[in-house]
């Protein structure tokens, strides 16, 4: 089988890897003549020069060295571009100003590169000595325009409501060929999921339905064989919440949903919840089976001397006017009196114990768990009830402390009992 017939059969059944193996075997059959190119495929930019480097070597005496360059497109016969014998170049007159070679260097310069120059370039080297040695290589050349900077826009531009609306991100590119699109969220690739889908060309990302977790920095990365560009970051607008509503105070002991404050002091409450857009807040007070709004905004100040009742229920309500969702949290404020004639040590002692409003059943539970909750606190197992400043204290402590009891539904359910039988003010 001749060289051309074998090459044609190899091309129809093999690939680049098989071609490389054949060329290596062919070079060995040619008594050491080797023609080498750095890559079987070279990517060029339209309008710029493209250099195709070629190296060859042999180990036999040579009187003449012939180099020939051919060009072929799919399903067409190869065209002669230029050739040389030793240092004399013979170009095809049609291409004499486009292709350049400087023998004995076999490399080829194409300038300028156009889309019509895309195809296969074949270089053949012949060595004349005691005999004739021949070897060839083929280089595939692609021609592309560089990628222009992509632009991403969203639909709807006004945003979407969590669990209700959908958002579509579209990536547009004004320039570039053979474009490949990739979506990034916070710098990492976005993959198909139950809520993420892509258009066939991957230039559109559809999120349906949107959730709070979809909030992030999105960008579109566009590539082709000669360049890549990334769009500016865009953050879709997603409306959500409120989530995690809670009330905190600047002072006062807290047991579960109960805040305590000394008579004559003021306590400042702050109501907060995660939401976009920010929530509107309203404060509701419940006294004598009546409920009414007392203030709007995230903060509320309660002055103990201005509260008619010593135990008052409050509600903080958070409302998102875009999502239409609301949440509320309830809490109780108790005004306590420590007495004017107590000395400093007695006041601290009483403040440490003033929330111990409990039944005997809850006392039995504390006998075993109090040392864990308050390290260093000793509980008397057989101590009888002790009367201190007119208040009944079931559990005796030998170490002063100023921290609140843990969140307990039992304490919350026994507040009314404490008010009635212990007389806490």
DSSP letters for 65-94 = EEEEEEEE-TTS--EEEEEEETTEEEE-GG
Mean pLDDT in the chain? 77
Question: Per-residue pLDDT for 381 more than 60?
Answer: no
pLDDT of residue 30: 42
Q: Which residue has the higher pLDDT, 37 or 378?
A: 37
Structural domains of the chain sorted by starting position, each given as residue range(s) with its CATH number in brackets:
3-144 (2.60.40.10), 151-236 (2.60.40.10), 241-336 (2.60.40.10), 344-422 (no CATH)
CA dihedral 351, 267, 244, 410 (to 10 degrees): 30
| pLDDT, mean of residues 182-196 | 96
- Give CA separation, 334 vs 18, 261, 398, in Å: 87, 6, 26
pLDDT bin (cut points 50, 70, 90) of residue 258 is confident
What is the predicted pLDDT for the residue at 392?
A: 41
Average of pLDDT values for 73-90?
A: 93
Helix, strand, coil shares of the chain as percentages rounded to 5? 15, 40, 40
Which tokens hold the place of 390? Answer: 């007119």
Closest by CA to 408, choosing from 357, 372, 367, is 357
Asked whether 240 and 276 are in contact (CB, 8 A), the reply is yes
What are the φ and ψ backbone dihedral angles of 102, each rounded to 5 degrees? -120, 85
- Is the pLDDT at 393 greater than 60, yes or no? no
Res 286: pLDDT = 82
User: CA-based Rg of the chain, rounded to a whole angstrom?
Assistant: 43
Label residue 186 exposed, middle or buried (CB < 10 Å: 0-12, 13-18, 19+).
exposed
pLDDT at 25 over 70: no
* Tally of CB atoms within 10 A around 370: 17
pLDDT at position 102: 94
Cβ neighbours, 10 Å, residue 42: 18
The pLDDT > 70 percentage for the chain reads 69
Three-state SS at 362? helix
Q: Which of 122, 129, 224, 205 is nearest to 166 (CA)?
A: 205
Question: Measured between alpha carbons, how far is 51 from 113 in angstroms, rounded to an integer?
Answer: 10
Q: What's this model's pTM, rounded to 2 decimal places?
A: 0.65
Cα(175)–Cα(147) distance, rounded to whole angstroms? 6
- Tell me, what's the pLDDT at 293? 92
């Amino acid at each position: 089988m001749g060289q051309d017939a074998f090459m044609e059969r190899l091309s129809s059944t093999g690939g680049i890897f098989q071609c490389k193996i054949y060329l290596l075997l062919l070079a060995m059959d040619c008594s050491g003549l080797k023609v080498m190119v750095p890559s079987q495929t070279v990517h060029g930019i339209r309008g710029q020069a493209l250099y195709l480097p070629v190296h060859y070597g042999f180990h036999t005496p040579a009187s003449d060295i012939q180099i020939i360059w051919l060009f072929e497109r799919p399903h067409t016969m190869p065209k002669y571009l230029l050739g040389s014998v030793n240092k004399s170049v013979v170009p095809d007159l049609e291409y004499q100003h486009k292709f350049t070679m400087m023998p004995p260097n076999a490399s080829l310069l194409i300038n300028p590169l156009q889309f019509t120059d895309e195809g296969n370039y074949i270089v053949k080297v012949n060595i004349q000595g005691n005999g004739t040695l021949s070897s060839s290589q083929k280089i595939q050349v692609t021609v592309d325009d560089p990628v222009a900077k992509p632009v991403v826009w969203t639909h709807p531009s006004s945003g979407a409501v969590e669990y209700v609306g959908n958002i579509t991100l579209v990536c547009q590119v004004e320039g570039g060929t053979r474009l490949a699109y990739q979506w990034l969220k916070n710098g990492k690739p976005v993959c198909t999921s139950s809520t993420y889908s892509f258009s066939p060309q991957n230039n559109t990302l559809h999120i349906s339905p949107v959730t709070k977790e979809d909030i992030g920095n999105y960008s579109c990365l566009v590539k082709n064989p000669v360049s890549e560009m990334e769009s500016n970051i865009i953050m879709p607008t997603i409306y959500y919440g409120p989530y995690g509503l809670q009330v905190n105070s600047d002072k006062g002991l807290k047991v579960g949903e109960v805040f305590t404050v000394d008579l004559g002091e003021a306590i400042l409450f702050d109501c907060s919840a995660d939401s976009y857009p920010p929530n509107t807040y309203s404060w509701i007070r419940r006294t004598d089976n009546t409920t009414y709004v007392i203030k709007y905004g995230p903060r509320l100040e309660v002055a103990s001397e201005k509260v008619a009742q010593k135990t008052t229920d409050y509600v903080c309500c958070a409302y998102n006017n875009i999502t239409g969702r609301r949440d509320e949290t309830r809490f109780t404020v108790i005004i306590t009196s420590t007495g004017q004639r107590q000395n400093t040590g007695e006041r601290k002692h009483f403040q440490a114990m003033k929330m111990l409003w409990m039944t005997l059943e809850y006392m039995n539970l504390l006998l075993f768990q109090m040392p864990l909750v308050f390290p260093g606190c000793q509980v008397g197992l057989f101590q009888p009830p002790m009367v201190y400043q007119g208040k009944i204290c079931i559990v005796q402590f030998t170490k002063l402390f100023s921290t609140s009891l843990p969140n307990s539904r039992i304490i919350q359910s026994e507040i009314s009992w404490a008010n009635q039988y212990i007389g806490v003010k």
